[in-house]
Structure 1
Amino acid sequence: MSAEKSTTAASPFSSRRGLNRFNDKLFTGIVWAVGILTVLFIIALLFTILQKGMPKLSLGFLYGEPSEIMEGGGIGPLLFNSFYVLIISLIISIPLGMASGIYLAEFAPANKFIAFIRICVEGLASVPSIIFGLFGIVLFVETLDLGLTILGAAVSLAFLNLPVLTRVTEEAIRAVPTEMKNASFALGSTHLQTIRRVLIPVALNGIVTGICLVAGRAFGESAVIILTGGVTSSGVMWDFNPLSPGATLAVHLWYVQSEAIVPDAQLIAEKSAAVLVFIVLLINIVFRVPLWMNARKMR
């Protein structure tokens, strides 16, 4: 009789365990299905873009000058401008963003003013890029009277990327276990040595991921460049003058699709889109190299 009571009393718990097990399997299946569909969609999108443009690429297209009327123009100066603007913007934004993130994570006092600063940084990270383009117009075109230039486009892109890099660096530094920092202090390291030799190497994965995101975003950005760099280039392949017009490959892609009158505009757009996607993928691979090297050192 007692055995029957214990079996009866245990049955609700066993049925609940069975329901929880079913819900767990159902949720896992949904997550896997959504993840697989998302990956397949991204692969299909990339394949479509690359398949249309990559087979038609040639060195003449990559090194040639763009044409306004005749067909067969290239993207050489625009491709160079894209890398030039990207490099200048990263040179400005990476040190400032990392320094700001390290300060907020390690040195900033816990008061309302710093909390307000964090809210402002998070707000700037979500501001549409065209707002930074309008700021670039006011600063470089109107106030400094520089016109539409590579320098204005690069600095405006740096302003666009700075809030993201600051937040990513701060969160990556905060994610480092406190025990590792305390162990460094216990061994006699200063705060600066702890940041250089412990916090940054451990947080490098998150920091580099943030740099990959902003680099890819900067290379494919068009709104900021249109407003601060213009829609034309100097036409010279290796023009290092920062005051030259700063149209990039993304801007050229937009221009060809919307304004150009060349007969082969659709073909140029397909090839330009393939080059743009391929380079963004390549940027992500290149920035992953420090992570692989850091992982080997940490073993």
Structure 2
Amino acid sequence: MSKVTTAANQFAARRGFNQIANRLFTGIVWLIGICTIVFICGLLFLILKKGLPELDWSFLYGLPSEMEEGGGIGPLIFNSFYVLVISLVISIPLGMAAGIYLAEFAPATKFIAFIRICVEGLASVPSIIFGLFGIALFVEALDIGLTIIGGAVSLAFLNLPVLTRVTEESIKAVPKELKHASFALGSTHLQTIRRVLIPVALNGIITGICLTAGRAFGESAVIILTAGVSSSGEMWDFSLYSPGATLAVHLWYVQSEAIVPDAQLIAEKSAAVLVFVVLLINIVFRVPLWLNERKTR
């Protein structure tokens, strides 16, 4: 009887300790989460409160000025979206194809394992390395100078490893039962990938695309080295061989080297626009996720 009582007491004590530890861990998680959210909101507030109230259409559509006050950022916003779209058009199909191959077709060999390690390594390489590669390829080897196409392709190279890994892991996260059920119904491997694996893994893939798009839109090191720090001066310049300074590059240039009298105000307004557009990109890329969730319910 004493042994039973002792065991019961030990169980009760352990249960009480586990409850206390669970409450303590839950409180720590809540505290860290709230502090992180407050920090992010405070950071956004500090950036937006200075520049957002000062924005007007003349600034958003105007041409940048080298000497006088009141310059705009119209061509720079256009270049930012132009370079982003070109880089995504190149990197998304290639990255998804490579990720699907590694997840579904690649044999389990040491060479493929080495390829995965290389992809993971490239995903963490500093962006300036891709800028130096862009200089070697487009400026020196191809001799086309600092251009939009050079910056866009270099950004695509920067995005490829991330998109490849995100696609591969999203495909692998799909339950095996769904894949086996598709095969059992007579679907081919291609049909299974198109109609089962990709739709189920779409949330993870689009999240990866969203992160790479936001990173590419705010990238400056690659663009400075491959597309330059100036624009053509035209609002809608679709030439791939024009200088391709983006909004992030302009923000760096105004803050560090510009001699215009209102450089600080231009930098604050440019930072507000940059943050606002990145948030907008995240919201736009979330729309397919919401639609996909409705279809899968």
User: How much does 1:13 deviate?
Assistant: 2.0
Q: Which residue of 2 aligns with 1:18?
A: 16
1:290 to 280, 288, 292: 288
Q: Which residue of 2 aligns with 1:145?
A: 143
CA distance in 2, matches of 1:163, 1:241: 28
Task: Provide the secondary structure at the position in 1 that maps to 2:32.
Answer: helix
Q: How far does the alpha carbon of each residue in 1:216-245 deviate from its partner, in whole angstroms, 9 at most, with x for none?
A: 000000000000000000010000000000
Q: Which residue of 2 aligns with 1:6?
A: 4
Q: Is 2:30 the partner of 1:32? A: yes
Q: Is 2:59 the partner of 1:61? A: yes
Q: Is 2:163 the partner of 1:196? A: no
Q: How far does the alpha carbon of each residue in 1:157-194 deviate from its partner, in whole angstroms, 9 at most, with x for none?
A: 00000000000000000000000011111111111011
Task: Provide the secondary structure at the position in 2 that maps to 1:261.
Answer: coil
CA distance in 1, matches of 2:186, 2:278: 43
CA distance in 2, matches of 1:50, 1:202: 37
Letter in 1 for 2:191: Q
User: How much does 1:50 deviate?
Assistant: 1.1
Letter in 2 for 1:24: N
User: How much does 1:20 deviate?
Assistant: 1.4
User: How much does 1:6 deviate?
Assistant: 2.5
Q: Which residue of 2 aligns with 1:132?
A: 130
1:89-238 alignment, distance < 5 Å:
89-238=87-236
User: How much does 1:5 deviate?
Assistant: 4.5
Letter in 2 for 1:178: K
CA distance in 2, matches of 1:223, 1:68: 21
Q: Which residue of 2 aligns with 1:254?
A: 252
1:275 to 250, 273, 276: 273
User: How much does 1:48 deviate?
Assistant: 1.3
Q: Which residue of 2 aligns with 1:85?
A: 83
Q: How far does the alpha carbon of each residue in 1:240-264 deviate from its partner, in whole angstroms, 9 at most, with x for none?
A: 0000001000000000000001000
User: How much does 1:17 deviate?
Assistant: 1.4
User: How much does 1:70 deviate?
Assistant: 0.2
CA distance in 2, matches of 1:226, 1:157: 12
User: How much does 1:51 deviate?
Assistant: 1.2
User: How much does 1:61 deviate?
Assistant: 0.2
Give RMSD over aligned pairs: 0.7
Task: Provide the secondary structure at the position in 2 that maps to 1:189.
Answer: coil
CA distance in 1, matches of 2:101, 2:69: 53
Letter in 1 for 2:103: A
Q: How far does the alpha carbon of each residue in 1:145-166 deviate from its partner, in whole angstroms, 9 at most, with x for none?
A: 0100000000000000000000
User: How much does 1:297 deviate?
Assistant: 1.2
Letter in 1 for 2:38: L
Q: How far does the alpha carbon of each residue in 1:61-81 deviate from its partner, in whole angstroms, 9 at most, with x for none?
A: 000000011000000000100
Structure 1's unaligned 5+ residue stretches are none
Q: How far does the alpha carbon of each residue in 1:13-39 deviate from its partner, in whole angstroms, 9 at most, with x for none?
A: 211111111111111111110011001
1:264 to 262, 269, 275: 262
- Percent of counterpart pairs with the same letter? 81
Q: TM-score, normalised by structure 1?
A: 0.98
CA distance in 2, matches of 1:9, 1:252: 71
CA distance in 2, matches of 1:263, 1:231: 19
Structure 2's unaligned 5+ residue stretches are none
Q: Which deviates the most, 285-294 or 160-169?
A: 285-294
Q: Which deviates the most, 18-27 or 80-89?
A: 18-27
Task: Provide the secondary structure at the position in 2 that maps to 1:234.
Answer: coil
